[in-house]
Structure 1
Protein backbone atom coordinates (compact mmCIF):
# COMPACT_ATOMS: atom_id res chain seq x y z
CA UNK A 1 0.00 0.00 0.00
CA UNK A 2 1.18 3.56 -0.70
CA UNK A 3 2.68 5.55 2.14
CA UNK A 4 0.39 7.98 3.95
CA UNK A 5 1.01 10.87 6.31
CA UNK A 6 0.47 9.83 9.91
CA UNK A 7 -2.06 12.52 10.81
CA UNK A 8 -4.15 11.69 7.73
CA UNK A 9 -4.12 8.02 8.68
CA UNK A 10 -5.35 8.87 12.19
CA UNK A 11 -8.15 11.01 10.76
CA UNK A 12 -9.17 8.28 8.31
CA UNK A 13 -9.17 5.77 11.14
CA UNK A 14 -11.67 7.91 13.03
CA UNK A 15 -9.31 8.66 15.93
CA UNK A 16 -9.71 12.42 15.57
CA UNK A 17 -10.00 15.19 13.01
CA UNK A 18 -6.83 16.03 11.12
CA UNK A 19 -6.22 19.07 13.29
CA UNK A 20 -6.75 17.07 16.48
CA UNK A 21 -4.51 14.29 15.13
CA UNK A 22 -1.74 16.82 14.58
CA UNK A 23 -2.06 17.90 18.21
CA UNK A 24 -1.86 14.28 19.40
CA UNK A 25 1.38 13.87 17.45
CA UNK A 26 2.89 17.12 18.76
CA UNK A 27 2.02 16.09 22.32
CA UNK A 28 3.93 12.82 21.94
CA UNK A 29 0.86 10.62 22.30
CA UNK A 30 1.42 8.68 19.07
CA UNK A 31 3.82 5.79 18.53
CA UNK A 32 4.82 4.08 15.29
CA UNK A 33 6.35 0.64 15.70
CA UNK A 34 6.99 1.36 19.37
CA UNK A 35 8.68 4.73 18.88
CA UNK A 36 7.15 8.08 19.82
CA UNK A 37 6.61 10.34 16.81
CA UNK A 38 6.33 14.12 17.24
CA UNK A 39 6.98 15.27 13.66
CA UNK A 40 3.95 15.95 11.46
CA UNK A 41 5.58 14.99 8.18
CA UNK A 42 6.14 11.32 9.03
CA UNK A 43 4.68 8.82 6.56
CA UNK A 44 3.61 5.27 7.34
CA UNK A 45 2.46 2.14 5.56
CA UNK A 46 -1.00 1.45 7.04
CA UNK A 47 -0.72 -2.25 6.16
CA UNK A 48 2.68 -2.83 7.77
CA UNK A 49 3.32 -0.23 10.47
CA UNK A 50 1.92 -0.55 13.99
CA UNK A 51 0.37 2.72 15.19
CA UNK A 52 -0.67 3.42 18.77
CA UNK A 53 -2.40 6.44 20.33
CA UNK A 54 -2.01 6.74 24.09
CA UNK A 55 -1.03 3.08 24.21
CA UNK A 56 -3.99 1.78 22.19
CA UNK A 57 -3.51 0.13 18.81
CA UNK A 58 -5.08 1.96 15.88
CA UNK A 59 -6.52 -0.45 13.35
CA UNK A 60 -6.47 0.37 9.63
CA UNK A 61 -9.64 2.33 8.92
CA UNK A 62 -12.80 0.74 7.64
CA UNK A 63 -14.20 1.93 4.30
CA UNK A 64 -15.53 5.47 4.70
CA UNK A 65 -19.27 5.80 5.21
CA UNK A 66 -21.53 8.78 5.90
CA UNK A 67 -25.11 8.82 7.17
CA UNK A 68 -27.78 11.50 7.27
CA UNK A 69 -29.63 11.74 10.58
CA UNK A 70 -32.83 13.61 11.43
CA UNK A 71 -32.00 14.67 14.98
CA UNK A 72 -35.06 14.84 17.24
CA UNK A 73 -35.61 17.20 20.15
CA UNK A 74 -33.94 16.14 23.40
CA UNK A 75 -30.67 14.64 22.13
CA UNK A 76 -27.18 16.07 22.53
CA UNK A 77 -24.95 16.17 19.46
CA UNK A 78 -21.94 14.44 21.01
CA UNK A 79 -20.68 10.88 21.31
CA UNK A 80 -21.31 10.86 25.08
CA UNK A 81 -22.81 13.16 27.70
CA UNK A 82 -21.53 13.63 31.29
CA UNK A 83 -25.10 14.37 32.43
CA UNK A 84 -26.37 11.07 31.10
CA UNK A 85 -28.68 12.57 28.50
CA UNK A 86 -29.46 10.78 25.26
CA UNK A 87 -26.98 11.42 22.44
CA UNK A 88 -27.32 11.22 18.68
CA UNK A 89 -25.13 8.10 18.83
CA UNK A 90 -28.10 6.28 20.38
CA UNK A 91 -29.74 6.67 16.96
CA UNK A 92 -26.68 5.64 14.92
CA UNK A 93 -26.40 2.29 13.12
CA UNK A 94 -24.36 -0.19 15.15
CA UNK A 95 -22.60 -2.16 12.41
CA UNK A 96 -20.11 0.42 11.12
CA UNK A 97 -17.68 0.94 13.97
CA UNK A 98 -16.95 4.38 15.36
CA UNK A 99 -19.03 7.15 13.83
CA UNK A 100 -18.76 10.82 14.71
CA UNK A 101 -21.37 13.60 14.50
CA UNK A 102 -20.82 16.43 12.02
CA UNK A 103 -22.74 19.70 12.15
CA UNK A 104 -23.81 19.80 15.78
CA UNK A 105 -27.24 21.03 16.82
CA UNK A 106 -28.43 22.33 20.18
CA UNK A 107 -30.25 20.01 22.58
CA UNK A 108 -33.57 21.67 21.78
CA UNK A 109 -32.97 21.92 18.01
CA UNK A 110 -33.91 19.36 15.38
CA UNK A 111 -33.00 18.52 11.81
CA UNK A 112 -30.20 17.40 9.55
CA UNK A 113 -26.93 16.11 10.96
CA UNK A 114 -24.28 13.82 9.52
CA UNK A 115 -22.61 10.80 11.11
CA UNK A 116 -19.36 9.62 9.53
CA UNK A 117 -16.17 7.65 10.12
CA UNK A 118 -14.36 9.82 7.55
CA UNK A 119 -12.27 12.21 9.62
CA UNK A 120 -10.95 14.04 6.58
CA UNK A 121 -14.43 14.79 5.28
CA UNK A 122 -15.66 15.83 8.75
CA UNK A 123 -12.75 18.24 9.14
CA UNK A 124 -13.44 19.90 5.79
CA UNK A 125 -17.18 20.19 6.34
CA UNK A 126 -16.70 22.04 9.63
CA UNK A 127 -13.62 24.13 8.78
CA UNK A 128 -14.47 27.84 8.27
CA UNK A 129 -12.28 27.94 5.15
CA UNK A 130 -14.80 25.89 3.15
CA UNK A 131 -17.81 28.03 4.12
CA UNK A 132 -20.27 25.15 3.90
CA UNK A 133 -23.81 26.60 3.97
CA UNK A 134 -26.29 25.58 6.65
CA UNK A 135 -29.99 26.36 6.22
CA UNK A 136 -32.45 26.52 9.13
CA UNK A 137 -36.20 26.87 9.43
CA UNK A 138 -36.81 29.18 12.36
CA UNK A 139 -39.98 30.07 14.25
CA UNK A 140 -39.74 33.21 16.37
CA UNK A 141 -41.84 34.89 19.01
CA UNK A 142 -44.12 37.65 17.66
CA UNK A 143 -44.57 38.88 14.12
CA UNK A 144 -41.28 40.33 12.90
CA UNK A 145 -41.40 43.91 11.61
CA UNK A 146 -39.73 45.02 8.39
CA UNK A 147 -36.92 46.83 10.19
CA UNK A 148 -35.85 43.66 11.99
CA UNK A 149 -36.09 41.62 8.78
CA UNK A 150 -33.94 44.11 6.91
CA UNK A 151 -31.35 44.14 9.70
CA UNK A 152 -31.22 40.35 9.78
CA UNK A 153 -30.92 40.09 6.00
CA UNK A 154 -28.35 42.87 5.84
CA UNK A 155 -25.69 40.95 7.73
CA UNK A 156 -25.44 41.17 11.52
CA UNK A 157 -22.27 41.91 13.49
CA UNK A 158 -21.43 39.11 15.92
CA UNK A 159 -18.38 39.12 18.21
CA UNK A 160 -16.98 42.00 16.18
CA UNK A 161 -17.29 40.20 12.85
CA UNK A 162 -20.00 40.40 10.18
CA UNK A 163 -22.19 37.34 9.66
CA UNK A 164 -23.48 36.91 6.11
CA UNK A 165 -27.03 35.63 5.88
CA UNK A 166 -29.62 34.64 3.31
CA UNK A 167 -33.11 35.21 4.71
CA UNK A 168 -36.47 34.09 3.32
CA UNK A 169 -39.75 35.00 4.96
CA UNK A 170 -42.01 31.93 4.82
CA UNK A 171 -44.93 33.02 7.00
CA UNK A 172 -45.93 35.83 9.31
CA UNK A 173 -49.11 35.90 11.36
CA UNK A 174 -50.89 34.53 14.44
CA UNK A 175 -48.26 36.08 16.68
CA UNK A 176 -45.21 34.38 15.17
CA UNK A 177 -42.81 34.49 12.22
CA UNK A 178 -41.36 31.57 10.25
CA UNK A 179 -38.10 32.19 8.40
CA UNK A 180 -35.56 30.20 6.44
CA UNK A 181 -32.05 31.41 7.23
CA UNK A 182 -28.81 30.30 5.57
CA UNK A 183 -25.40 30.98 7.12
CA UNK A 184 -21.92 29.91 6.05
CA UNK A 185 -20.40 29.10 9.42
CA UNK A 186 -21.17 26.98 12.46
CA UNK A 187 -20.56 29.33 15.36
CA UNK A 188 -22.00 28.34 18.75
CA UNK A 189 -25.72 29.26 19.11
CA UNK A 190 -25.34 31.41 15.99
CA UNK A 191 -28.96 31.41 14.78
CA UNK A 192 -30.38 32.01 18.25
CA UNK A 193 -27.95 34.86 18.83
CA UNK A 194 -28.77 36.44 15.47
CA UNK A 195 -32.48 36.44 16.24
CA UNK A 196 -31.98 37.69 19.79
CA UNK A 197 -29.88 40.52 18.36
CA UNK A 198 -32.87 41.79 16.37
CA UNK A 199 -35.22 41.24 19.31
CA UNK A 200 -37.04 38.03 18.37
CA UNK A 201 -36.22 34.96 20.50
CA UNK A 202 -36.35 31.57 18.77
CA UNK A 203 -39.22 29.20 19.56
CA UNK A 204 -38.28 26.40 17.16
CA UNK A 205 -35.09 25.68 15.23
CA UNK A 206 -34.73 23.01 12.56
CA UNK A 207 -31.83 22.52 10.14
CA UNK A 208 -33.24 21.62 6.74
CA UNK A 209 -30.04 21.66 4.66
CA UNK A 210 -26.31 21.16 5.14
CA UNK A 211 -24.16 21.95 2.12
CA UNK A 212 -25.84 20.36 -0.93
CA UNK A 213 -27.88 17.96 1.21
CA UNK A 214 -31.52 18.52 2.13
CA UNK A 215 -33.38 16.76 4.91
CA UNK A 216 -36.33 15.96 2.68
CA UNK A 217 -38.88 13.56 4.17
CA UNK A 218 -36.52 11.68 6.46
CA UNK A 219 -38.54 11.15 9.64
CA UNK A 220 -37.36 12.31 13.06
CA UNK A 221 -34.94 9.85 14.63
CA UNK A 222 -34.26 8.07 11.33
CA UNK A 223 -30.78 7.58 9.89
CA UNK A 224 -29.90 6.58 6.32
CA UNK A 225 -26.72 6.29 4.24
CA UNK A 226 -26.07 9.01 1.71
CA UNK A 227 -26.65 8.06 -1.90
CA UNK A 228 -23.68 7.91 -4.23
CA UNK A 229 -24.75 11.17 -5.87
CA UNK A 230 -25.24 12.90 -2.52
CA UNK A 231 -21.78 11.76 -1.47
CA UNK A 232 -20.24 13.10 -4.65
CA UNK A 233 -22.02 16.45 -4.26
CA UNK A 234 -20.89 16.69 -0.65
CA UNK A 235 -17.27 16.04 -1.56
CA UNK A 236 -17.45 18.55 -4.41
CA UNK A 237 -18.66 21.14 -1.92
CA UNK A 238 -15.48 20.96 0.15
CA UNK A 239 -12.99 20.34 -2.65
CA UNK A 240 -13.14 19.53 -6.32
CA UNK A 241 -10.02 17.44 -5.77
CA UNK A 242 -11.69 15.42 -3.03
CA UNK A 243 -13.44 12.95 -5.31
CA UNK A 244 -13.15 9.63 -3.52
CA UNK A 245 -16.58 8.06 -3.33
CA UNK A 246 -17.29 6.93 0.21
CA UNK A 247 -19.10 3.80 1.30
CA UNK A 248 -17.96 0.99 -0.97
CA UNK A 249 -20.63 -1.25 0.52
CA UNK A 250 -24.35 -0.70 0.90
CA UNK A 251 -25.02 0.32 4.52
CA UNK A 252 -28.59 0.00 5.73
CA UNK A 253 -30.79 2.78 7.05
CA UNK A 254 -32.17 2.71 10.57
CA UNK A 255 -35.73 3.78 11.36
CA UNK A 256 -37.33 4.25 14.78
CA UNK A 257 -39.75 1.51 15.75
CA UNK A 258 -43.26 2.14 14.47
CA UNK A 259 -42.21 4.50 11.67
CA UNK A 260 -41.82 4.00 7.95
CA UNK A 261 -38.68 5.10 6.21
CA UNK A 262 -39.08 7.92 3.72
CA UNK A 263 -37.45 7.70 0.35
CA UNK A 264 -34.08 9.48 0.14
CA UNK A 265 -34.47 13.06 -0.98
CA UNK A 266 -32.96 13.95 -4.33
CA UNK A 267 -29.36 15.07 -4.20
CA UNK A 268 -29.19 18.82 -4.19
CA UNK A 269 -26.79 20.76 -6.36
CA UNK A 270 -23.78 22.36 -4.67
CA UNK A 271 -24.83 25.68 -3.14
CA UNK A 272 -23.36 28.88 -4.49
CA UNK A 273 -22.81 31.53 -1.87
CA UNK A 274 -25.17 34.51 -1.89
CA UNK A 275 -23.99 37.02 0.66
CA UNK A 276 -27.31 38.76 1.43
CA UNK A 277 -30.84 38.26 0.15
CA UNK A 278 -33.51 40.67 1.35
CA UNK A 279 -36.79 39.14 2.55
CA UNK A 280 -39.89 39.42 0.36
CA UNK A 281 -42.02 42.50 0.87
CA UNK A 282 -45.32 40.61 1.05
CA UNK A 283 -46.28 38.12 3.69
CA UNK A 284 -46.49 34.49 2.72
CA UNK A 285 -49.60 32.72 3.93
Structure 2
Protein backbone atom coordinates (compact mmCIF):
# COMPACT_ATOMS: atom_id res chain seq x y z
CA UNK A 1 0.00 0.00 0.00
CA UNK A 2 1.23 3.52 -0.78
CA UNK A 3 2.57 5.35 2.27
CA UNK A 4 0.19 8.31 2.02
CA UNK A 5 -2.80 5.97 1.66
CA UNK A 6 -1.61 3.86 4.60
CA UNK A 7 -1.38 6.92 6.86
CA UNK A 8 -4.79 8.26 5.75
CA UNK A 9 -6.42 4.85 6.30
CA UNK A 10 -5.04 4.35 9.79
CA UNK A 11 -5.14 7.86 11.24
CA UNK A 12 -7.07 11.13 11.26
CA UNK A 13 -4.83 12.53 8.50
CA UNK A 14 -6.38 13.22 5.12
CA UNK A 15 -4.43 12.07 2.04
CA UNK A 16 -3.23 15.65 1.43
CA UNK A 17 -2.20 16.06 5.06
CA UNK A 18 -0.31 12.78 4.84
CA UNK A 19 1.46 13.97 1.68
CA UNK A 20 2.57 17.18 3.42
CA UNK A 21 3.79 15.33 6.54
CA UNK A 22 5.82 12.97 4.33
CA UNK A 23 7.29 15.75 2.18
CA UNK A 24 8.14 17.82 5.28
CA UNK A 25 10.19 14.95 6.73
CA UNK A 26 7.91 13.99 9.60
CA UNK A 27 7.43 10.37 8.53
CA UNK A 28 9.70 7.41 9.25
CA UNK A 29 9.45 3.80 8.09
CA UNK A 30 11.40 1.36 10.25
CA UNK A 31 13.37 4.29 11.66
CA UNK A 32 14.30 5.86 8.32
CA UNK A 33 12.88 9.21 7.15
CA UNK A 34 10.91 8.80 3.95
CA UNK A 35 9.87 11.75 1.77
CA UNK A 36 8.11 9.94 -1.10
CA UNK A 37 4.31 9.52 -0.65
CA UNK A 38 4.35 6.63 -3.15
CA UNK A 39 6.70 4.50 -1.01
CA UNK A 40 5.18 1.06 -0.51
CA UNK A 41 4.27 -0.09 3.02
CA UNK A 42 3.81 -3.74 3.92
CA UNK A 43 1.09 -3.99 6.54
CA UNK A 44 2.08 -6.14 9.50
CA UNK A 45 5.79 -5.80 8.72
CA UNK A 46 6.73 -2.12 8.31
CA UNK A 47 6.51 0.25 11.27
CA UNK A 48 5.42 3.78 10.37
CA UNK A 49 5.78 6.86 12.57
CA UNK A 50 4.34 10.32 11.94
CA UNK A 51 5.79 13.10 14.11
CA UNK A 52 7.08 10.46 16.52
CA UNK A 53 3.73 8.68 16.91
CA UNK A 54 3.36 5.15 15.60
CA UNK A 55 0.56 4.48 13.11
CA UNK A 56 -1.05 1.24 14.20
CA UNK A 57 -3.43 -1.12 12.46
CA UNK A 58 -6.07 -3.04 14.33
CA UNK A 59 -7.24 -6.64 14.04
CA UNK A 60 -10.68 -5.63 15.22
CA UNK A 61 -12.64 -3.37 12.94
CA UNK A 62 -15.83 -1.36 12.73
CA UNK A 63 -18.06 -0.86 9.71
CA UNK A 64 -20.82 1.72 9.53
CA UNK A 65 -23.62 2.34 7.05
CA UNK A 66 -24.15 5.95 5.96
CA UNK A 67 -27.18 6.99 3.92
CA UNK A 68 -25.38 9.48 1.74
CA UNK A 69 -27.51 12.33 0.40
CA UNK A 70 -27.06 13.87 -3.02
CA UNK A 71 -24.64 16.78 -3.12
CA UNK A 72 -21.81 15.33 -1.01
CA UNK A 73 -18.42 14.21 -2.25
CA UNK A 74 -16.91 10.96 -1.01
CA UNK A 75 -13.52 12.42 -0.13
CA UNK A 76 -11.84 13.83 2.97
CA UNK A 77 -11.44 17.33 1.57
CA UNK A 78 -12.20 19.25 -1.60
CA UNK A 79 -9.98 22.06 -2.95
CA UNK A 80 -13.07 23.80 -4.31
CA UNK A 81 -14.73 23.83 -0.90
CA UNK A 82 -17.64 21.60 -1.82
CA UNK A 83 -19.38 19.60 0.89
CA UNK A 84 -17.96 16.17 1.68
CA UNK A 85 -19.35 13.24 3.65
CA UNK A 86 -16.93 14.13 6.46
CA UNK A 87 -18.65 17.47 6.90
CA UNK A 88 -21.79 15.54 7.86
CA UNK A 89 -20.27 12.58 9.72
CA UNK A 90 -19.36 12.89 13.40
CA UNK A 91 -15.71 13.64 14.13
CA UNK A 92 -15.18 10.16 15.56
CA UNK A 93 -15.58 8.80 12.02
CA UNK A 94 -13.00 11.14 10.44
CA UNK A 95 -10.46 8.32 10.07
CA UNK A 96 -12.98 5.88 8.56
CA UNK A 97 -12.35 4.85 4.95
CA UNK A 98 -15.19 4.78 2.41
CA UNK A 99 -15.68 1.37 0.80
CA UNK A 100 -16.01 2.39 -2.80
CA UNK A 101 -17.49 5.69 -3.86
CA UNK A 102 -20.82 7.22 -4.77
CA UNK A 103 -20.58 10.24 -7.04
CA UNK A 104 -21.79 13.73 -6.12
CA UNK A 105 -25.32 13.19 -7.50
CA UNK A 106 -25.76 9.60 -6.24
CA UNK A 107 -27.37 8.79 -2.92
CA UNK A 108 -27.87 5.80 -0.69
CA UNK A 109 -25.86 3.14 1.07
CA UNK A 110 -22.19 3.95 1.63
CA UNK A 111 -20.08 1.71 3.86
CA UNK A 112 -17.14 3.11 5.82
CA UNK A 113 -14.61 1.25 7.97
CA UNK A 114 -11.62 1.88 10.22
CA UNK A 115 -9.73 -1.05 8.64
CA UNK A 116 -8.06 -0.64 5.26
CA UNK A 117 -7.89 -4.41 4.72
CA UNK A 118 -11.70 -4.61 4.97
CA UNK A 119 -12.11 -1.65 2.63
CA UNK A 120 -9.77 -3.15 0.04
CA UNK A 121 -11.35 -6.62 0.25
CA UNK A 122 -14.89 -5.32 -0.21
CA UNK A 123 -14.00 -2.81 -2.93
CA UNK A 124 -12.24 -5.48 -4.98
CA UNK A 125 -14.91 -8.12 -4.44
CA UNK A 126 -17.64 -9.30 -6.78
CA UNK A 127 -20.28 -9.04 -4.06
CA UNK A 128 -23.70 -7.87 -5.20
CA UNK A 129 -24.49 -4.14 -5.24
CA UNK A 130 -28.15 -3.21 -5.79
CA UNK A 131 -29.29 0.15 -7.13
CA UNK A 132 -32.56 1.88 -7.91
CA UNK A 133 -32.19 3.75 -11.18
CA UNK A 134 -34.33 6.34 -12.94
CA UNK A 135 -33.38 7.14 -16.53
CA UNK A 136 -34.73 9.58 -19.08
CA UNK A 137 -36.51 7.71 -21.87
CA UNK A 138 -37.64 4.10 -22.31
CA UNK A 139 -35.73 0.91 -21.59
CA UNK A 140 -34.80 -0.58 -24.94
CA UNK A 141 -34.10 -4.13 -26.11
CA UNK A 142 -30.47 -3.13 -26.68
CA UNK A 143 -30.17 -2.08 -23.03
CA UNK A 144 -31.65 -5.36 -21.84
CA UNK A 145 -29.35 -7.38 -24.08
CA UNK A 146 -26.35 -5.54 -22.65
CA UNK A 147 -27.56 -6.00 -19.07
CA UNK A 148 -27.88 -9.74 -19.67
CA UNK A 149 -24.77 -10.31 -21.76
CA UNK A 150 -22.33 -7.58 -20.80
CA UNK A 151 -20.87 -4.75 -22.83
CA UNK A 152 -17.43 -3.64 -23.97
CA UNK A 153 -16.91 0.01 -24.89
CA UNK A 154 -13.79 1.45 -26.46
CA UNK A 155 -15.31 4.88 -25.78
CA UNK A 156 -17.02 5.02 -22.38
CA UNK A 157 -16.55 8.74 -21.80
CA UNK A 158 -20.27 9.55 -22.06
CA UNK A 159 -21.70 9.58 -18.54
CA UNK A 160 -18.26 9.95 -16.97
CA UNK A 161 -16.84 12.99 -15.24
CA UNK A 162 -15.35 15.56 -17.60
CA UNK A 163 -11.96 15.23 -15.87
CA UNK A 164 -11.96 11.42 -15.76
CA UNK A 165 -8.99 9.71 -17.40
CA UNK A 166 -11.03 6.56 -18.04
CA UNK A 167 -11.92 6.22 -21.70
CA UNK A 168 -12.79 2.55 -22.20
CA UNK A 169 -14.74 0.16 -19.97
CA UNK A 170 -15.92 -3.44 -19.91
CA UNK A 171 -19.26 -4.14 -18.21
CA UNK A 172 -19.88 -7.65 -16.92
CA UNK A 173 -23.41 -9.05 -17.27
CA UNK A 174 -25.66 -7.71 -14.54
CA UNK A 175 -26.50 -10.16 -11.77
CA UNK A 176 -30.12 -9.21 -12.37
CA UNK A 177 -32.55 -6.43 -13.13
CA UNK A 178 -36.23 -5.65 -12.68
CA UNK A 179 -38.13 -3.05 -14.69
CA UNK A 180 -40.70 -1.13 -12.63
CA UNK A 181 -41.65 1.38 -15.28
CA UNK A 182 -40.68 1.97 -18.92
CA UNK A 183 -42.14 4.98 -20.71
CA UNK A 184 -41.07 7.55 -23.30
CA UNK A 185 -40.44 10.26 -20.68
CA UNK A 186 -38.65 8.18 -18.07
CA UNK A 187 -38.13 4.65 -16.77
CA UNK A 188 -37.46 3.14 -13.36
CA UNK A 189 -35.66 -0.13 -12.67
CA UNK A 190 -33.69 -1.96 -10.00
CA UNK A 191 -30.38 -3.49 -10.99
CA UNK A 192 -27.87 -5.77 -9.28
CA UNK A 193 -24.22 -5.65 -10.36
CA UNK A 194 -21.00 -7.18 -9.06
CA UNK A 195 -18.62 -4.33 -9.81
CA UNK A 196 -17.86 -0.85 -8.58
CA UNK A 197 -16.24 0.88 -11.54
CA UNK A 198 -16.10 4.65 -11.91
CA UNK A 199 -19.57 5.96 -12.77
CA UNK A 200 -20.30 2.54 -14.20
CA UNK A 201 -24.09 2.81 -14.26
CA UNK A 202 -24.13 6.34 -15.68
CA UNK A 203 -21.66 5.32 -18.40
CA UNK A 204 -23.67 2.17 -19.21
CA UNK A 205 -26.95 3.97 -19.87
CA UNK A 206 -25.25 6.97 -21.49
CA UNK A 207 -23.98 4.61 -24.19
CA UNK A 208 -27.62 4.11 -25.20
CA UNK A 209 -28.35 7.84 -25.08
CA UNK A 210 -30.18 7.63 -21.76
CA UNK A 211 -29.28 10.04 -18.96
CA UNK A 212 -29.49 8.75 -15.39
CA UNK A 213 -31.80 11.16 -13.56
CA UNK A 214 -31.68 9.47 -10.13
CA UNK A 215 -29.40 6.80 -8.72
CA UNK A 216 -29.56 5.25 -5.28
CA UNK A 217 -27.66 2.30 -3.85
CA UNK A 218 -29.89 0.26 -1.57
CA UNK A 219 -27.68 -2.69 -0.63
CA UNK A 220 -24.15 -4.07 -0.67
CA UNK A 221 -23.99 -7.86 -0.24
CA UNK A 222 -26.09 -8.73 2.83
CA UNK A 223 -26.07 -5.14 4.10
CA UNK A 224 -29.32 -3.29 3.41
CA UNK A 225 -30.12 0.41 3.60
CA UNK A 226 -33.69 -0.32 4.72
CA UNK A 227 -35.30 2.66 6.50
CA UNK A 228 -32.12 4.47 7.54
CA UNK A 229 -32.90 8.21 7.14
CA UNK A 230 -30.90 10.27 4.69
CA UNK A 231 -27.75 11.67 6.29
CA UNK A 232 -27.83 9.21 9.19
CA UNK A 233 -25.44 6.45 10.28
CA UNK A 234 -25.91 3.02 11.79
CA UNK A 235 -23.58 0.19 12.83
CA UNK A 236 -23.81 -3.23 11.22
CA UNK A 237 -26.18 -5.70 12.82
CA UNK A 238 -24.89 -8.90 14.39
CA UNK A 239 -25.93 -10.94 11.36
CA UNK A 240 -24.27 -8.44 8.97
CA UNK A 241 -21.03 -8.61 10.94
CA UNK A 242 -21.22 -12.40 10.93
CA UNK A 243 -21.51 -12.45 7.14
CA UNK A 244 -18.62 -9.98 6.87
CA UNK A 245 -16.38 -12.04 9.18
CA UNK A 246 -17.08 -15.11 7.05
CA UNK A 247 -16.21 -13.17 3.91
CA UNK A 248 -12.95 -11.85 5.41
CA UNK A 249 -11.92 -15.37 6.48
CA UNK A 250 -12.35 -16.52 2.90
CA UNK A 251 -10.27 -13.58 1.66
CA UNK A 252 -7.48 -14.42 4.12
CA UNK A 253 -7.62 -18.09 3.16
CA UNK A 254 -7.25 -17.28 -0.56
CA UNK A 255 -4.35 -14.91 0.18
CA UNK A 256 -2.51 -17.68 2.04
CA UNK A 257 -3.13 -20.12 -0.81
CA UNK A 258 -1.74 -17.64 -3.36
CA UNK A 259 1.34 -17.09 -1.18
CA UNK A 260 2.26 -20.80 -1.19
TM-score (norm 2): 0.71
Q: 1:73 to 1:41 in 2, by over 3 A?
A: closer
Structure-2 residue corresponding to 1:133: 128
Give 2:56's aligned residue.
60
What is the CA–CA distance in structure 2 between the aligned matches of 1:198 and 1:192, rounded to whole Å? 10
Q: 2 CA distance for matches of 1:106 and 1:12?
A: 20
Q: How far apart, in 1, do the equivalents of 2:237 and 2:11 lie?
A: 21
Q: CA deviation at 1:39?
A: 8.2
Cα drift, residue 118 of structure 1: 0.8
Instruction: Give, in whole Å, the separation in 1 of the partners of 2:44 and 2:148.
Output: 47
Deviates most, 151-160 or 100-109: 151-160
Q: Does 1:35 align with 2:32?
A: yes
Deviations 1:19-59 (A, max 9, x none): xxxxxx9xx996356335878669659xxx7x314x46234
Q: Aligned to 2:120, which of 119, 123, 133? A: 123
**CA 1:33–1:214: 2 relative to 1, 3 Å:** same
Q: Find the aligned partners of 1:42 and 1:168 in 2 and give their Cα distance.
A: 42
Equivalent of residue 149 in structure 1, options 126, 144, 148:
144
| 2:126 and 2:194 in contact (8 A); partners too | yes
Q: Are the equivalent residues in 2 in contact too, given 1:235–1:242 (CA < 8 A)? A: no
- Contact 2:10/2:116, CA 8 A, preserved across alignment: yes
Once the two structures are overlaid, the 10-residue window that deviates more, 74-83 or 141-150, is 141-150
CA distance in 2, matches of 1:39, 1:84: 30
- Match for 2:192 among 173, 182, 196? 182
Corresponding pairs, count:
221
- Which whole-Å CA distance do the structure 1 matches of 2:121 and 2:147 have between them? 27
Alignment deviations for residues 69-103 of structure 1 (CA, whole Å, 9 cap, x no partner)? 00001000111111111111122232356112122
Matched, 1:75 2:72: yes
Q: Which among 160, 167, 170 is matched to residue 161 of structure 1?
A: 170
Which of 216, 234, 238 is 1:224 aligned to?
234
Q: Which residue of 2 aligns with 1:206?
A: 216
Q: Aligned ranges for residues 229-244 of structure 1 at < 5 Å?
A: 229-240=239-250
4+ long deviations beyond 4 Å: 9-12, 36-45
Distance in 2 between residues matched to 1:229 and 1:164, nearest whole Å: 29
Mapped partners of 1:115, 1:41: distance in 2: 22
Cα RMSD for the two superposed structures: 3.4
Structure-2 residue corresponding to 1:283: none
